[in-house]
Structures are given as C-alpha cells and as structure tokens.
Amino acid sequence: MTASNYVTSSDPKNHDLAYDIQPDLDDQAQAYFKWVLGFTVGVAGVMFGFFAVSNNLLPVPWLWLGLFIGLSFFAYQRKRLNVSIDLYFVAIIGVFTFLLAEYGPTPTQITLLMIPIIVASLVAKKRLRLVTAAVVILEVLVVSSKLNGFFAALPSVIVPITINILLVFVSQFREADILDTVYWATDIQKKDRRRAESFYQQREELNAALLQLAHTHSKLETINAQLAQTNIDLAAAREKADRVSQAKSVFLSNMSHELRTPLNVIIGYSSSMLRMPQMFQHVPMPEIYKPFIQLIEDNGHYLVGLINDVLDLSKIEAGKLELHPTNLELPELLRGIISTSIGLIKDKPLTIRPDFPDDLPSVWADPMRVRQVLLNLMSNAIKFTHTGSITLSAQRVGDMVSISVIDTGIGIAESAQRAIFDRFQQAAQNIEVQYGGTGLGLDISKQLSLMHGGDLTVSSVVGQGSTFTLTLPLAAYVQPELEHTPDGELAAADLALEGSIPVSDRNCFVLVAEDEVNSREFIKQTLENNGYRTIHTHDGQEAVEFAAGFLPDLIILDAHLPTLSGWKALKVLKDQPETAHIPVIIYAAEEHSDMAATLGAALFIQKPTTAELLLERVEQITVKAES
C-alpha cells in the first residue's frame, strides 16, 4: 500500500484507518510547526547575536525574519494556522533572499535554500509548497545570473536546483505530506499491534471457550450415559410393571372365576328353593324360611356385583377397560332400565316415572356401560329413597344428551357431594352400615362417563332428594357421516370449516394420545375426515416416544393417561430439544388452561368438545405453525 492510497483511497476497507489517523496528523503537524517556529526564532536570535558580536552587523534580514516570525507566532496563537504558515514562509524566504543578494549564490547558500522547501514540504499545503519552491528557484536563478551571468552561474546552481525540483516533485506526486507517511507507517504499526493484541486475546478467549466446550461435552457425555442407564432402568421398571400388571389381571381374572363357582351354588340353590319347588319334590318350604333364603340369594347377587366392580375398577386403573361404542338409541335402553328398576323396588312405596321424548337423538356410547351406569344410579336412588318417586328424565342439551335420575330420597350434604365419586367413599360411615354397598359404583360410573366423553354430576338437598346427571355426546358429533349422509366423504367435507384448506391438500400429521377409546375415535375420525393424517396411542410414555420418533406436526394430549400423565408427558416433550417445537393441545375434562399455558401447551381444550371446535383449534395451530 502506498501513501496516496492510504490518504485518498475510497476503499471502504481503509476508510476507517484514514478517518482515524487524519485528525491526529493535523495535531501532530501543528505541534511540529510550533517546534519549527521556535527553532527558527532561536536560529534568528543566534545569527543576530553572532553578527552583532563579529561587528559585521547585517541587521535587515534578521529584523525581517524577527518581524515575520513574530507575526506568524501571533497568528499561530490565534489559531490561524494557514496564515501563520504563510507568514512563516514569507519570513524564511525573505531571509534567504537577503542572504543570496548579499553573499551570492555559493553552493552553501543554495543548499541552505533547500531548508524552506523541506520545511514547506513538511508543514505546508500543496499550493504553498509550489510557491515556495518556485520563488526560491527563481531567486537562485535571478541572483546567480545577475552576479555572474546566467550561463556562467548555471553549473554551480544546477545541482541544488535539481535537488529542490526533485524534492518538490516527490512531495507533489505523493500528494501527501511526508509526515503523513511517517505517521501512517507508525500508525499502521500501532494498528497492527492492536490487531495482533486483539487477535491473541481472541485466540485466548477461543482457547478458553474450546476448553469450556470440551468440559461441557464430557459432562454431556456423562449425562447421556446416565440418561441411557436411566432409560434402561426405566424400560426394565416398565417391563416389570407390565409383568406385575399382567400378573395382577390374571390373578383378578382367576379370583373372579374361583369366586363365581361357589356363588353359583349359593345363588343356584337359594333361587331353586324359592322358585323351583318341583326340584324338591314339591315338599313345601316353611314360610318362615323364605325371607332368609331370599337374603342369601340377594347377598349372592350383591357379591357378584362387587366382583364385577372390582374387576372393572382394576381394568379402568390399568387403562385396559375397552368401550364398544355404537350409535345408541336411548329411549329403548331407558325403558329397559325402568323395567329392571321396578323389579328392585320390591315392597317400597315408590313410583318410577319416565320423562323423556321418543325422538331423543342417538348418542355415541357403549350400551352395556351406559346400562351399568344408569342401573347403578337407579339402584342407589331406590336404596336411598324410602317414599316418593324416582324420575328418569332425558333431553338434548347442546351437543350432548343429559340423562337425569331424580329421587325424593334422603339427599346428600353439600360437603359430602365432592367426595361421593371418590373411591371407597360413601357420604358417611353410618350410611354404609344402614344401606350397604362399597361406594365403588359411583366411582366406576364417573370413570365410565368420562371415558365416553361425557360426565356424571350430582346436585342434592338433604331431606329433599338428589339428582344425578349423566351426559353423553351426540352420535352426530362423533360420527357425522352416520347422521348426515350415507356418503362419509361428503359429510366430512361439509364439516370442514369454511375457508379452510381443501381436504386433499393438507399434509399435517397429528399424534393423538388418548386412552378413552371413544374419545380417541372421535378425535381421530374428525381429523381424518378433514384430511389430517393421525397416529394414536393410549399411553403417555408411548406418546412421548412416538413424538420423538415420528415428529408429528401437532400433538393432542389427554391430561389423564396411563404410565405418564398428559401433564408429565407435556413437560417431557417441552424439555426434549427434538420435540420442544411441536405444538401441543391439552385435552381434559377439568378447566386447566392456566396450567396448560404454564407448561408450554399451545392450547387447552375442555372436554367434551364438538367436532367443529376441535377442527377450528387444530387448524388455528397448524396454520400458525406453518406461517
């Protein structure tokens, strides 16, 4: 790089250098000029003194010099640098002119003339430099030729003049001051040193960072190894749990079988004695025995019910209870419930009243389980109502059918209503003694209702009666194609939201984690009918594994899943870097939108939901994710 490049370059890479250095140079030039001024005053003083002492006083040039240097100094003090420099050259050139005139152009004199030119090239601007050189050279030529004749003088002045011209040329061609070069060079060095320092510093930092990285890496490797071990342990624990669970269900199933056989003897013979006299050769049984034989049979049936409850509960707990939902016509089922319930009243002064229209829309439910829940509610109502009525009513409420069992019984205190669906809880200890029962029935009924995508709730006033309400989703909302039109494709298209992506164009992959069969089917059907691809699981742990393995575009998590709850699964998903970006919808019967948001869920949907709402939410998220 040359000096001119440095000063005039518009190369953006060098721009900052020029910008940095230029003001320094001016300052430096000013400082040097100050020294030059001082030096010149000193020289003038010494010369004046020297000539005065030698009695060969030649005052005019030194007075001239003193006057103009003084003016220049004054200008310098007033910060008029250009004026100061101009005055300085007037002073110095004048002095040399006097000296030339006095002593003739000897080589010494002419060489002295180089001083203003050098000084000019050090501190003056281009114009002044040229003027100085021109004036000095002209003077030399004029003075020499006057004294000796132009051509006679030429040989003695040609060398210094050429040197002067060369000096001017050099400084002109550089188009920069010599000092610039000096400072540029020193500054480049400074810059380089600074760069080198920062480079070394960066290298140090880099080394430190690399060391830190290596350290972190080894830590990560340790953690990975620990994780791998944890995974192995987890898999082993899970396998063990599966084996235990398997063993438990085999045990329960065997136990059930073993209990039923002796119960068959109890129920079989007691029912025979009461209702099949021909088996006993028509020998009449004393009337006084009859109620007690009846008690034996009733308790036999009660024990069978208990075994069924325990089996159901263990299946629900293990997530192994499967629903077989169909398009269920309620009026027929409800009439069956009523006729069975009438048989349970026996001699109590109770009436059972049906209160439902014949054109109830069908629900999407497992008939066996709905019957189980309603019979449980009816038998409870009969058990706890001594006189009055029990009403079985049903009507459509929005997207659900709500079925209520309303009794005029003893009622349930408000404080006990919350605990009533809890396992093994009955409202009070004395109730259990007085009325029998284990309290498993309502727990199971609640679980079964939730599994259907519905719910079971209670309202009651002590002494006036209780109302238990079961809600079930309309079949039309779960399986729209069955209700709307025989052509499933058309129905699905109808259901697709206005302005949504055409069914066939979607390329969205949804993981549905839901252990309740019909709820899962509902979500799957709704999404698949609208062009989403789905994969499903009934298990929380499996949901996490599937998510990492399949990297779906969206995950719908039920809050209550076996092995790993939806909440825990959500946390794991958000903690895993490979799954953290996947939006998650949490789906629960209870309102927990705050918790869902805190744990990083994209959305919370409360059960039960409609196909429209579900689609709208899913679309909302997948569209957001795409954009």
Collapsing DSSP to helix, strand or coil, 442 comes out as helix
Task: Tell which phi-psi region holds residue 398, choosing left (phi > 0), alpha (psi between -120 and 50) or beta.
Answer: left
Of the candidates 385, 388, 439, 436, the residue with the CA atom closest to the CA atom of residue 411:
385
Which part of the chain contacts other proteins (CB under 8 A), choosing from 26-34, 130-138, 237-245, 258-266?
Answer: 258-266
| Smallest distance, other proteins to C-beta of residue 562, A | 19
Q: Which residues pair with 351 in a beta bridge?
A: 389
| Smallest distance, other proteins to C-beta of residue 400, A | 26
Residue 270: φ, ψ to 5°: -65, -40
Q: According to CB under 8 A, which residues from 413 to 442 bind other proteins?
A: none
State the Cα–Cα distance between residues 164 and 167, nearest whole angstrom.
Answer: 5
| Smallest distance, other proteins to C-beta of residue 515, A | 17
Q: According to CB under 8 A, which residues from 224 to 253 bind other proteins?
A: 253
Among 268, 349, 398, 436, binds other proteins (CB under 8 A): 268
Residues in contact with other proteins, shown as a per-residue x/- string from 364 to 393 under the rule CB under 8 A:
----x-------------------------
Among 185, 213, 225, 276, binds other proteins (CB under 8 A): 276
DSSP string, 355-367: E--TTPPPEEE-H
State the Cα–Cα distance between residues 158 and 110, nearest whole angstrom.
Answer: 10
| Smallest distance, other proteins to C-beta of residue 458, A | 29
Q: Using CB atoms within 10 Å of the CB of residue 279, give its burial: 0 to 12 exposed, 13 to 18 middle, 19+ buried.
A: exposed
**Which residue, 269 or 509, has its beta carbon nearer to other proteins?**
269
Q: According to CB under 8 A, which residues from 323 to 352 bind other proteins?
A: 324
| Smallest distance, other proteins to C-beta of residue 328, A | 17
Q: According to CB under 8 A, which residues from 284 to 313 bind other proteins?
A: 297, 300, 304, 308, 311
| Smallest distance, other proteins to C-beta of residue 337, A | 20
**Which residue, 63 or 276, has its beta carbon nearer to other proteins?**
276
Among 272, 417, 438, 459, binds other proteins (CB under 8 A): 272
Among 75, 85, 93, 267, binds other proteins (CB under 8 A): 267
Measured between alpha carbons, how far is residue 529 from residues 224, 452, 480, 600 in Å? 42, 20, 9, 28
Q: What is the separation, in whole angstroms, between the first and last Cα of the chain?
A: 51
Of the candidates 72, 83, 85, the residue with the CA atom closest to the CA atom of residue 41:
72
Which part of the chain contacts other proteins (CB under 8 A), choosing from 62-70, 155-163, 224-232, 264-272?
Answer: 264-272
**Which residue, 195 or 260, has its beta carbon nearer to other proteins?**
260
Per CB under 8 A, does 271 bind other proteins?
Answer: yes
State the Cα–Cα distance between residues 472 and 520, nearest whole angstrom.
Answer: 15
Which part of the chain contacts other proteins (CB under 8 A), choosing from 8-16, 267-275, 583-591, 609-617?
Answer: 267-275
State the Cα–Cα distance between residues 514 and 531, nearest whole angstrom.
Answer: 20
Collapsing DSSP to helix, strand or coil, 422 comes out as coil
The answer to whether 538 touches 319, Cβ cutoff 8 Å, is yes
| Smallest distance, other proteins to C-beta of residue 252, A | 10
**Which residue, 140 or 267, has its beta carbon nearer to other proteins?**
267
Find the angle CA(564)-CA(566)-CA(568) to the nearest 5 degrees: 60
Measured between alpha carbons, how far is residue 609 from residues 61, 194, 479, 565, 570 in Å? 110, 68, 13, 20, 20
Q: Applying CB under 8 A, what is the total number of residues that bind other proteins? A: 27
**Which residue, 22 or 253, has its beta carbon nearer to other proteins?**
253
DSSP string, 294-354: HHHHHHHHHHHHHHHHHHHHHHHHHT-PPP--EEE-HHHHHHHHHHHHHHHHTTSSEEEEE
Chain position carrying tokens 């899943």: 561
| Smallest distance, other proteins to C-beta of residue 310, A | 12
| Smallest distance, other proteins to C-beta of residue 340, A | 14
| Smallest distance, other proteins to C-beta of residue 241, A | 21
Among 13, 79, 127, 275, binds other proteins (CB under 8 A): 275
Which part of the chain contacts other proteins (CB under 8 A), choosing from 265-273, 382-390, 467-475, 597-605?
Answer: 265-273
What is the contact surface with other proteins in residues (CB under 8 A)?
253, 256-258, 260-261, 263-269, 271-272, 275-276, 278-279, 297, 300, 304, 308, 311, 322, 324, 368
